[in-house]
Chains A and B, each alone.
Chain A
Amino acid sequence: MKAGGTRRDHTGLLFVLPFLTAYIVMLIYPLLRGMALSLQRVDLFGGGRFIGLVNYTRLFADETFLRSILATFALALMIVPLLTVLALALALALNRATKGAAIFRGVFFSSSVLSVTIVTLIWRFVLAPDAGLLGETAQALGAEPIPFLSHPTWSLWALAITTIWWSIGLPMMLFLAGLQQIPGDVYEAAALDRASRWTTLRRVTLPALKRTVVLVIMLQTAAQLQIFGQAQLLTGGGPGGATRTMVLFIFESAFARWELGYATAAAEVLFLLIVLLTLTQYVTTMRGSEGDGGR
């Protein structure tokens, strides 16, 4: 369990020091400062006095906040499973050396390079019932356009669809990378056994991809629980707060209502939820199969 260097000196410390400084100043210190803020009644422009857990008790009595938790989880549930399955399917289909596969890989990753502002702009003009591509198509076919941006449930789907379209590239790439690390002889053995493609997929490919699947789900869950730009730009949290995500709630509390302490408390709740959820996912799926500290 020894690291490469055998000399025991402080050179190593010098190598890690630049990062540690950035890490402590810009992540750990703000984290602690945030925890302190969450226990104060303080507005955006300063002041502040200690009020204990009042911000937290207020939060859990605040229907708007509780609804934002529900909306955030609903979105994560709509996005993560679909995104994982679609990305896996695409990776399986495109995991070959042909020119066509390369082109399609490019197509499916292309949306990932766009910024959230452009993505939501594009999708507004796809989804809007009156001005969007889908609306125009529906009207041309004589159908009633779906109220994607004005119905509480449909507007959640609007965010989910937009997000899946936007973020399919990365998980697909991760799955492709995972597929390439499966040694070829495993497949040869399966071929010798005359296993059907389905059986090969179930018995060989998927188990070998387990780590990647868990990784994708954990990364995506953490990412989607922090969904912000899409909700702010595409639906503005509406209609009637149906798509107000937790991060949008935090943003509004801080910068529209100036309640910095309250907003920070909400951010701490989000932090806790993400830690609990990803930890649960990790523990339940990876129990016993890993060593210490990622070694």
Chain B
Amino acid sequence: MSAGADQRTELYLQRFFGECGAHYGTATDVSKVEGECGIITAMINKFNANNPDVKVSSNVVAWPGYPQLSAQMAAKDPPDLVTMHTGVISDYAAEGLLEPVEPYLAEAGLSPSALTEASRSAVTIGGKLYGLPFDTHGGLFHINTKLFAQAGLMKGGKPVLPTSPEEMMLQAKQFTERTGKPYLIQSLVGDNAYAARNVYTYLLAQNAVLFPTPKTIRLQTLEAERIVDFFRTITASGVSTRNQDTPAAIGSFMSGEGGIYPTGTWMIGQFEAEANTPGRPLFHAYTVYPYPRLWGAEVSYVSGHAWVVPKRERTPEQRRAIARFFRFIAEHNFDWTRTGHLPAFQAVVESPAFKALPHRINIAPIATTGRPLPGGVQRQNAIEGLVGEEIAAAFNGQKATKQALADAERRVNELLAQTD
């Protein structure tokens, strides 16, 4: 390529959320596409179309993409913009690998006070903002209302959700007896995030101290045993799938093969699209609620996505382009919430357009009941992997509850002991 052939300022963007260029490669009308992958693809297409002097090239990585990002940073060749879970930001910030984003926010005319409290605190470390929050997200019970009706678990058009573990077990048995299908669709294979999410949510609900210090986790507790034992029992009692990974679980729920699929906010858009397509098994048969209170208080473990800017040399043009991208992302926060995620900006939370989206009334409580892990804890992604791996083995009956909790605790503490 000859120099000067392309005068555009290049920004190298790296993201997860999937690759769907074949379906949405040219889409620029963000309101016409569905799902995380479609919406982010269309958004970036639109940014490129609106900014002819900037060229954003997208690098799509397999979720969550951190090994690859780490390899890039070790090679001193990181991208300009990266999607990152808020729980992971502190690791990279502590290593001095990220730029604080205040200058970009200022250039973009964005005030940190426009962010929701939850999303702002999630990217703030030592008083500095290390990313532009994109959303707040957490676990939800996605429900097949047709099967719930068949099981006699609908009341006044709403699904009857349990308020205690005992009740959940009874409802599960009733459901499976009447429908012949599993009450729970669990992705217990290759999905450490799921098992970790359940344990985090219900530990936070019981007000258990998960991290006595940022360097130690505590999992060998009665509260944790209670949770793991319950999911282990319900998994073993024939009312749940046991051998599914995430794609299989998604496929299973979309084919109407089970009652509840506990997964995150990110699936709402795609399931809602199914629910609006005549002939599909989920047609007019879908709703979604936060994880029900089973122990303690009504609390959800939440995390968030943010856009971070890895440290590297950049031209003033590139810096201005990043600011413009931030502004664009902020302006399109509503479009992103169509995926199911909760807004990062307070104005969107309060907007009629957001409130008019399906099911958002149901999940609105998460805005107040959502709790992240303590921000001072490093390696949250690796910790989720370790905890999830051990806990999933216990859910599945492959490991005794106490053993799994002890192993998870030991492995996490060994890991944290190695961080500086």
Contacts and interface: CB of A to CB of B under 8 A. Distances in A.
- Do A and B come from the same complex? yes
Interface of A: 41, 43-45, 62-64, 128-131, 145, 147, 149-152, 235-236, 238-241, 251-252, 255-259, 262
B66 interface: yes
A197 B73 CA distance: 62
B190 A130 contact: no
A235 B67 contact: no
B242 interface: yes
Contacts of A147: 242-243
B70 interface: yes
Interface stretch (B103-111, B204-212, B291-299, B386-394): B386-394
B415 interface: yes
B379 A150 contact: no
A262 B97 CA distance: 21
B9 to A, nearest CB: 27
28 contacts: A41-B418, A43-B95, A44-B70, A44-B74, A45-B73, A45-B74, A63-B407, A64-B411, A129-B243, A129-B244, A130-B243, A130-B252, A149-B243, A150-B188, A150-B396, A152-B398, A238-B189, A239-B190, A239-B393, A240-B390, A240-B392, A241-B389, A252-B67, A255-B68, A256-B67, A256-B382, A257-B379, A259-B418
A240 B398 contact: yes
Contact of A128 (B71, B73, B241, B248): B248
A45 B396 contact: no
A131 B97 contact: no
A63 B245 CA distance: 26
Contact of A255 (B71, B97, B247): B71
B264 interface: no
Residue picked from B67, B243, B392, most chain A C-beta under 10 Å: B243
Interface in B142-165: none
Interface string B87-100: 00000000101000
B399 interface: yes
B415 A150 contact: no
A130 B244 contact: yes
A257 B415 contact: yes
B243 A131 contact: no
Contacts of B95: 43, 45
A236 B190 contact: yes
B189 A149 contact: yes
Nearest to B252: A130
The 3 closest A-B pairs by CB, nearest first: A240-B393, A255-B67, A130-B248
Contacts of A151: 243, 398
Interface in B352-406: 379, 381-382, 385, 389-390, 392-393, 396, 398-399
B189 to A, nearest CB: 4
A64 B407 CA distance: 10
Residue picked from B67, B71, B245, most chain A C-beta under 10 Å: B245
Nearest to B64: A256
A238 B147 CA distance: 32
Interface of B: 66-68, 70-71, 73-74, 95, 97, 188-190, 241-245, 247-248, 251-252, 379, 381-382, 385, 389-390, 392-393, 396, 398-399, 407, 411, 414-415, 418, 420
B244 A238 contact: no
Given A44-B74, A259-B418, 19 more contacts: A43-B420, A45-B73, A129-B248, A130-B241, A130-B243, A130-B248, A130-B252, A150-B189, A150-B396, A240-B390, A240-B392, A240-B399, A241-B389, A252-B67, A256-B381, A257-B379, A257-B415, A257-B418, A262-B418
A43 B73 CA distance: 12
Contacts of B393: 239-241
A274 B227 CA distance: 43
Nearest to A235: B190
A239 B392 contact: yes
Contact of B243 (A45, A150, A257): A150
Nearest to A147: B243
B67 A238 contact: no
Given A149-B243, A152-B398, A257-B382, A130 B251 contact: yes
Contact of A149 (B68, B74, B190): B190
A259 B343 CA distance: 35
A130 B66 CA distance: 29
A194 B392 CA distance: 63
A252 B381 CA distance: 12
A131 B189 contact: no
A130 B182 CA distance: 14
A45 B243 CA distance: 38
A256 B392 contact: no
A252 B190 CA distance: 15
A252 B399 CA distance: 22
Contact of B190 (A131, A238, A257, A258): A238
Contacts of B67: 251-252, 255-256
Given A63-B407, A240-B389, A255 B70 contact: yes
A129 B242 CA distance: 10
B217 to A, nearest CB: 15
Contact of B398 (A41, A64, A239): A239
A239 B252 contact: no
A145 B244 CA distance: 12
A152 B189 CA distance: 11
Contacts of B385: 256
A252 B411 CA distance: 14
B82 to A, nearest CB: 15
Contacts of A238: 189-190, 389, 392
